[in-house]
């Protein structure tokens, strides 16, 4: 099914038990696409709090200005457990790791990967206390 909508989400889903809006997806010509905000937003079924965002343009994960194009937050602890930095569909970050994984209980960084233009590389040892970049 072809999905496209100008000026609002192409898909919206509500939890049938709670009535909470749990998902919004913005598309242009069936591709994830939104210039002025996240193209996909997921919310917790109980609280309605945003628990993940995906930023995309023309179907490619993309967010400029050294901000994560994809992130996930634990609904219970509120800790951002995953961040991914994408530019024009490639993992990319000039000033730090392009992929950050955190423990959902403590927030401690458990994994970092560095990418430029989609190519993985090994940098100097990362700082263990990377704060979420949202």
Give the pTM: 0.86
User: Given CA atoms 116, 120, 121, 124 in this order, what sign does their dihedral have?
Assistant: positive
Residue 8 DSSP SS3: coil
Instruction: Express each pLDDT in 92-113 by its tens digit.
Output: 999 899 999 999 999 999 999 9
Q: Residue 9 gets which letter from DSSP?
A: -
Quick check: helix, strand or coil at residue 59?
coil
Residue 36, domain member (yes or no): yes
Residue 128 or residue 62, greater confidence: 62
Give the number of domains in the chain.
1
Quick: pLDDT tens for 22-72.
999 999 999 999 999 999 999 999 999 999 999 999 999 999 999 999 999
In a domain? residue 51: yes
Full residue range of the structural domain in which residue 87 is found: 11-121
- Name the region of 78 (left: φ>0; alpha: ψ -120 to 50; beta: rest): left
2 domain residue, yes or no:
no
Does residue 128 sit within a domain?
no
The reply to whether 88 falls in a domain is yes
């Amino acid at each position: 099914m072809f999905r496209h909508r100008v000026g609002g989400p192409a898909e919206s889903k509500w939890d049938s038990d709670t009535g909470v809006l749990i998902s919004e997806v913005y598309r242009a010509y069936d591709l994830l696409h939104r210039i002025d905000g996240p193209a996909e937003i997921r919310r917790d079924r109980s609280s309605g709090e945003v628990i993940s965002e995906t930023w995309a343009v023309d179907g490619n994960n993309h967010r400029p200005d050294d901000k994560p194009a994809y992130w996930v937050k634990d609904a219970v602890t509120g800790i951002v457990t995953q961040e991914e930095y994408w530019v024009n569909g490639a993992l990319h970050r000039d000033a730090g790791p392009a992929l950050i994984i955190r423990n959902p209980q403590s927030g401690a960084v458990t994994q970092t990967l560095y990418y430029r233009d989609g190519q993985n590389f090994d940098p100097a040892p990362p700082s263990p206390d990377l704060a979420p970049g949202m």
